Amino acid sequence: MAITALSAEFGAVSGFPADASIVHNIGYALFDLGEYDVATVPAEGFLATFLIAAVALDVAVDGAVYLAKREEDGSIVAAVGQAFTDGGRDGGDRQ
């Protein structure tokens, strides 16, 4: 694999125009505002990468929240535990 990578020939380096903004073009592609582009950069590839990363991060956060839950006495207890509750003290409506 190293021989293949070292012997591969790559074309000349090319970039985007100096006045082009990738962030603006991703926003334009996200909301389909292509006619308002200031400096056109093909941002659909960036948009796909952005959305895939957003979904992956959302799945990671959802998984972390799911794994942070624990079970005590047959019931699920949230990860924040007693931070937002009364700590499980018996109230007037408990039996």
Q: Which domain holds residue 69?
A: 15-83
Q: Considering its fold, how many domains does the chain have in total?
A: 1
Query: What number is the average pLDDT over the span 39-64?
Result: 86
Residue 68 domain-assigned? yes
Residue 50 domain-assigned? yes
Residue 1 domain-assigned? no
Residue 39 domain-assigned? yes
Residue 94 domain-assigned? no
Query: What number is the average pLDDT over the span 26-40?
Result: 72
d(CA 72, CA 94): 18
Residue 95 domain-assigned? no
Residue 38 domain-assigned? yes
Using a cut of 0.85, tell me whether the model's pTM lies above it. no
What does the mean pLDDT of the chain come to? Answer: 76
